[in-house]
Amino acid sequence: MYFLLSQLSLMDLLLVCTIVPKMAADYLTDRKSISPAGCGLQIFFFLTLGGGECFLLAAMSYDRYVAVCHPLRYSVLMSRQSCLRMILGSWFLGAADGLMQAAATLSFSFCSAREMDHFFCEAPTLVRLACADTSAFEYVMYICCVLMLLVPLSLILTSYGLILAAVLQMRSNKARKKACATCSSHLSVVGLFFGAAIFTYMRPKSYRSANHDKVVSVYYTVFTPVLNPLIYSLRNSEVKGALRKCMDQCAALSICPKVRSCKK
């Protein structure tokens, strides 16, 4: 579980580093420009990390399914080699999608007005600036997005459907609570990530607007990666114990001066 979590943290960190430094530099310097190569790299890394995280979340749901439904076989089904294959598969599928869409997007010829109403290079926004007919590419890109989102999401829903069936058969309330606590953090992350991604990439064109796209993009490129460590940390008993101890120490330090003044 922690091996998969380390990869999720790495993907979130790289995703923030792909978007936020350039965005902050543009606002501070008021340049607001990017080279074609930089734009292509931003599209590639963004889609690689976003697509890889979709499949990594599916692998984590399988990990939770094995932990709840097959605990005695956990060390065999989720061995180090199995986890490594899942992680490499997630990175490979994400990189394949990112490379394909970045290369196809930059292959179009763009008109003289090359201004995007966005804070980073995103394939759907950049395609709108192309002078050529992009309907075929937009259709293929829509199919790719549907596959990259719905295939992992269907695997996640299948895993949690089997987990729910196993939990309902448990006779012990303590075992049920433990199983629900094991899965609650991952379900929260899945809801945040897939909810924003589906809203962005699977809406019809008639319902899209530049302002909505920017707001939702900030949500899943900045806020979601920041919230993920907090969600998983606050569900960890060791982290909660350390946080409680730290708060008690801070409270004790704030009380000490008052006690000394009373003694004087």
Q: What is the pLDDT along the chain (264 residues), one digit of tens a residue?
A: 778 888 888 998 898 888 888 888 888 887 778 888 888 888 899 889 988 999 999 999 999 899 888 888 888 888 889 899 999 999 999 999 889 888 888 888 777 667 777 778 887 778 777 787 777 877 888 788 788 888 899 999 999 999 888 888 887 777 777 777 777 778 888 888 888 777 777 766 655 666 666 777 777 778 888 877 777 776 666 666 767 787 778 777 766 555 444 444
pLDDT of residue 261: 47
For residue 239, CA distances in Å to 9, 11, 13, 62, 236 come to 16, 22, 20, 24, 5
Q: Rounded to the nearest 5°, which phi and psi values hold at 112?
A: -65, -35
pTM over 0.85: no
Domain 1-255 coded CATH 1.20.1070.10: yes
User: Tokens standing for 66?
Assistant: 């094995």
Domain range list for the chain: 1-255
Q: Do residues 52 and 95 make contact, with C-beta atoms less than 8 angstroms apart?
A: yes
